[in-house]
Amino acid sequence: MKSFGKIRRIARCFSTTSSCPLRICVVGSGPAGFYTAEKLLKAYQSVEVDIIDRLPTPFGLVRSGVAPDHPETKVVINQFLRVAQNERCSFFGNVSLGSSVTLLELRNMYNAVVLAYGAESDRSLGIPKEELAGIYAAREFVWWYNGHPDCRSLAPDLKSSDTAVILGQGNVALDVARILLRQIEELARTDIASHALAALEESSIRKVYLVGRRGPVQAACTAKELREILGIKDLGVYIKAADLVTTPADEIEMKNSRIRRRVHELLSKAVTPGCAPVAGQRELHFVFFRKPDMFLESDDKSGHAGGIRLEKTALKGVGDDESVRQVAVGTGEYEDISCGLALKSIGYKSVAVDGLPFDTYKGIVPNDRGRVLADASCGHVQHDIGLYVCGWLKRGPTGIIGTNLHCAEETISCISDDINRGALASGSTKPGREGLRQVLDSRNTRVVPFDGWGKIDCEERRRGSLKNKPREKLATWEELLEVACR
Amino acid sequence: MFFSRFCKLGVHAIRNLEKSATLTARTSYAPKAHNKYLGSLRNELFCSTTAQANSEQKTEEKEKINVIFCDKDGEETHIKVPVGMSMLEAAHENDIELEGACEGSLACSTCHVIVMDVDQYNKLSEPTDEENDMLDLAFGLSETSRLGCQIIAKPELDGIRLAIPAATRNFAVDGFKPKPH
Ligand SMILES: Cc1cc2nc3c(=O)[nH]c(=O)nc-3n(C[C@H](O)[C@H](O)[C@H](O)COP(=O)(O)OP(=O)(O)OC[C@H]3O[C@@H](n4cnc5c(N)ncnc54)[C@H](O)[C@@H]3O)c2cc1C
């Protein structure tokens, strides 16, 4: 892709020759949405950007995903704030694509629409008894402790058992494990939702199992998150010594990936010496080479999970020598772990909206570097002009906040190409935000503008200061809307 | 105005909370008006005519070092950076497009730079585990990669050249390998 400098130079030529403003709607105010808005506003003086979000609060997973004990990660919000303050940018909170306004309507009102509405659903394991109570998607649990209004009443049972099993070993799994195991006094100083803090205070969970299909070389977490959880005070860490032994194929994987090497090294050094658990101490068990086979129902609480059956696995190399990939295959040997809480952290998945091409298998919008591909079933690839994607909806649910910056640059280079060849200009000026406002008014949608979020922000900080927390999140729809519309 | 106050309060709260964060106050340096051209002009002047430079200028220059940023297109920007200032701050004060999502608190890798000269790289103190953890996630990582927020100007680094990696090229062409999260 071309660099930004170039885009900007082209942009200047463009803005002097064009008289009518180009109106672009960005759907979703997470990192992908905000980076897209920022780069568009910077590149084109004649562009107006409206960002809509289904929540009254902006910033997507930076608010509702990033762990409460990671305040420094949330500092990026300052940068997004500066974008929202740009006079050519407007925020429409509490406006949901699909229910408040349709995709077709947005496309008629704007020269271009960039979809950046993330991934708000989950992959399922597809194993028996997955519907038992006490089994949650990590996404729901994270939303719950981060005060997302959709999970305010999740009320996970943390009291009837001392064991939680987390399926998956990625960073989200580690976040969730850390929240369950970390000292409550430390959590109390964060912006964790108060209902979650109260429940965690009374939690009887002492043991957390992190289960992965493959070995420590293939664990999907990063060194930073791993280092952090291993550093929790008074925590016993358990890994079977045999699991840490590497094969020649593992050595190749580690040679090719610095991150895999460093993660393996951390895990190797992490094991608590002496092996026998100390009474009362919290325990973290890394369980490698196991895949979920079925959930087991509790004997004393019908309809509730009481454990999980895991199948032992072995790694098998696929692909050629150069890029060998090791996959887990079942061995037919099983093992049960009893637990009262199970959290599935096996991946997020995006949701489709009406009128949008969607790849249900990958859970993303089919796209070519950010240009949405119109139905490809007819055999030839065709771009849907004026419709773009960015972020998790475009690439799938991987990558850190910064990844979305590069992702946005890629999408914008496509938009720039289309602008420069005149594909987005229409004969007449598009109605943009005025049109959107009219449609939302006619439907009695309570739009939360950016200063409505300002009121929420202010109130949350005020309540937080009373409790020595950076903020006390408003976690119900009623409260959020009430404060925003004061 | 309304919001910048919130925003400042926010950072303040975060700073208090995380004592480990190595945030450096940007206000400690008076904003300078070095633009790209002025910067490079001055630099040439300084390099070729040090002997003749008058003493007043000398003391002023003593506390600053020359730094050259090469952007994604290979275009160079020469700037002067006061000793003690991080390369992230220096880039921002000089309108160089280097991202800094976490504002220097070692929680992201967006200010990744590549030190172009191995000898210069070797003059830097070893990266900490925490910096290495972040570098793990940087695009286009190289043997001499560092985070801009962790390179602090010191006299020995005079003339250091830093490349801003063309992350987008890696992303689009070289086959992007998603990092877990
Ligand atoms: C639990 C967790 C922890 C993480 N921790 C870190 C971390 O510590 N550091 C890091 O760098 N990265 C972290 N990440 C990754 C990072 O959060 C993502 O890379 C990033 O948020 C993805 O950006 P996005 O804009 O694509 O999606 P999102 O951030 O999910 O934003 C999507 C937005 O769209 C809105 N939306 C959804 N549906 C609609 C609709 N129909 N209409 C209108 N709006 C809609 C949502 O409300 C949301 O605001 C974490 C991710 C998770 C899940």
pLDDT at residue A19 in the model? 58
Chain B contact present for A406, CB below 8 A = yes
Question: What angle do helix axes A77-84 and B2-17 make, rounded to 10 degrees?
Answer: 180
Are A76 and B6 an interchain contact pair (Cβ–Cβ within 8 Å)?
A: no
> What does each C-alpha distance from A66 to A30, A110, A339, A349 come to in angstroms?
12, 32, 26, 17
Chain B contact present for A70, CB below 8 A = yes
B18: helix, strand or coil = coil
Is residue B18 over pLDDT 90?
no
pTM of the entire structure?
0.88
Strands A371-374 and A382-389, by their bridges, are: antiparallel
**Ligand 1 centre distance from Cα of residue B32 (Å):** 37
Q: Check whether A471 is labelled as a binding-site residue.
A: no
| Dist CA A14 CA A418 (whole Å) | 12
Asked whether the beta carbons of A218 and A257 are under 8 A apart, the reply is no
CA–chain centroid gap for A116, Å, is 12
**Ligand 1 centre distance from Cα of residue A160 (Å):** 32
The residue of chain A nearest to residue B143, with distances taken between CA atoms, is: A258
C-alpha distance from B3 to closest chain A C-alpha (Å):
7
The residue of chain B nearest to residue A31, with distances taken between CA atoms, is: B101
Residue ranges with strand state E in A151-243:
163-167, 207-211, 235-239
Tens digit of pLDDT per residue, chain A (486 long)? 334 444 444 444 444 345 578 999 999 999 999 999 999 999 999 999 999 999 999 999 999 999 999 999 999 999 999 999 999 999 999 999 999 999 999 999 999 999 999 999 999 999 999 999 999 999 999 999 999 999 999 999 999 999 999 999 999 999 999 999 999 999 999 999 999 999 999 999 999 999 999 999 999 999 999 999 999 999 999 999 999 999 999 999 999 999 999 999 999 999 866 667 777 799 999 999 999 999 999 999 999 999 999 999 999 988 776 667 899 999 999 999 999 999 999 999 999 999 999 999 999 999 999 999 987 565 667 888 999 999 999 999 999 999 999 999 999 999 999 999 999 987 778 999 999 999 999 999 999 999 999 999 999 999 999 999 999 999 999 999 999 998
Chain B residue numbers touching A262 (CB-CB < 8 A): 132-133, 136
Rounded average pLDDT over B3-31 = 36
Chain A residue numbers touching B17 (CB-CB < 8 A): 71, 189-190, 470
Tokens read off for A284? 């973290």
CA–chain centroid gap for B178, Å, is 26
Q: Which residue of A53, A61, A179, A411 sits with most ligand 1 atoms within 8 Å of its CB, as the best mutation to test the pocket?
A: A61
Q: Kindly calculate the radius of gyration of chain B based on its CA atoms and give it in whole angstroms.
A: 17
**Ligand 1 centre distance from Cα of residue A59 (Å):** 8
Q: Check whether A97 is labelled as a binding-site residue.
A: yes
Is residue B168 over pLDDT 60?
no
Domains of chain A: 2-120+350-448 (3.40.50.720), 122-348 (3.50.50.60)
What is the interface size between A and B, counted as CB pairs within 8 Å? Answer: 149
Residue ranges with strand state E in chain B:
64-70, 76-82, 112-115, 145-147, 160-163
Are B133 and A227 an interchain contact pair (Cβ–Cβ within 8 Å)?
A: yes
Are A470 and B17 an interchain contact pair (Cβ–Cβ within 8 Å)?
A: yes
| Dist CA B50 CA B60 (whole Å) | 13
Chain B residue numbers touching A74 (CB-CB < 8 A): 14
Q: Check whether A143 is labelled as a binding-site residue.
A: no
pLDDT at residue B170 in the model? 39
| Dist CA A52 CA A439 (whole Å) | 14
Chain B residue numbers touching A38 (CB-CB < 8 A): none
| Dist CA A480 CA A82 (whole Å) | 23
| Dist CA A192 CA A143 (whole Å) | 10
- Name residues contacting ligand 1 (CB within 6 A): A 27-33, 52-55, 60-61, 65-66, 70, 73, 96-98, 116-118, 120, 142, 172, 175, 391-392, 399-401, 403-404; B 181
Asked whether the beta carbons of B179 and B153 are under 8 A apart, the reply is no
Q: Which residue of A34, A38, A52, A66 sits with most ligand 1 atoms within 8 Å of its CB, as the best mutation to test the pocket?
A: A66
pLDDT at residue A319 in the model? 77
The complex scores an ipTM of: 0.89
B89-113 confidence digits (pLDDT tens)? 999 999 999 999 999 999 999 999 9
Q: Check whether A400 is labelled as a binding-site residue.
A: yes
C-alpha distance from B149 to closest chain A C-alpha (Å):
14
Give the DSSP letter of residue A362: T
Task: Mutation target for A interface from B102, B111, B132: give the one with most A CBs within 10 A.
Answer: B102
Mean pLDDT value across chain B:
71
Tokens read off for A317? 């190399």
Is residue B133 over pLDDT 50?
yes
Is residue B177 over pLDDT 90?
no
User: What is the pLDDT confidence band of residue B58, given thresholds at 50, 70 and 90?
Assistant: low
A 274-293 residues with CB < 8 A to B: none
| Dist CA A182 CA A205 (whole Å) | 11
> What does each C-alpha distance from B60 to A37, A320, A360, B54 come to in angstroms?
41, 60, 63, 10
- Across the interface, which of A398, A406, A464 has its CB nearest the CB of B180? A398
Burial category of A21 from C-beta neighbours within 10 Å (exposed 0-12, middle 13-18, buried 19 and up): middle
Are B181 and A190 an interchain contact pair (Cβ–Cβ within 8 Å)?
A: no
Chain B contact present for A9, CB below 8 A = no
Q: Check whether A114 is labelled as a binding-site residue.
A: no
pLDDT at residue B23 in the model? 33
A168: helix, strand or coil = coil
Chain B residue numbers touching A407 (CB-CB < 8 A): 171
